[in-house]
Amino acid sequence: MAFIGPRPERRFYIEQIMAKDARYEQLYSLRPGVTSYATLYNGYADTIDKMLKRLELDLYYLQHRTWGMDLRILASTFLKIAGGKKF
């Protein structure tokens, strides 16, 4: 597991997400992470619609990831947690 990367999902939900958007498989090219771009901007996903939105954000991260982006995600996560935000 990495610090930054898409949050792992349970198989039950992966199958539902894949039925609506097969691009989920692209996330397998990244190691799962403790925090992610999608977690910062989408929060906890408890519905399929939120999971599909999270997928869009994770795919954006996959296409645009850099060391700088990872540092911003890590710093933003720390600041949000220190500020009392719950994901």
Cα torsion angle, 21, 61, 57, 71, sign: positive
Alpha-carbon distance of 72 to 41, in angstroms, equals: 13
- Is 41 among the domain residues? yes
- Is 7 among the domain residues? yes
- Is 8 among the domain residues? yes
- In the predicted model, is pLDDT for residue 86 greater than 80? no
Q: How many domains does the chain have?
A: 1
- In the predicted model, is pLDDT for residue 20 greater than 90? yes
Q: What is the dihedral of CA 9, 14, 20, 21, to 10 degrees?
A: 70
Alpha-carbon distance of 9 to 45, in angstroms, equals: 10
pTM for this predicted structure: 0.86
pLDDT in tens, 65-84: 999 999 999 999 999 999 88
pLDDT in tens, 34-73: 999 999 999 888 899 999 999 999 999 999 999 999 999 9
Provide the residue range defining the domain that includes 8: 2-82
Q: What is the pLDDT of residue 87?
A: 64
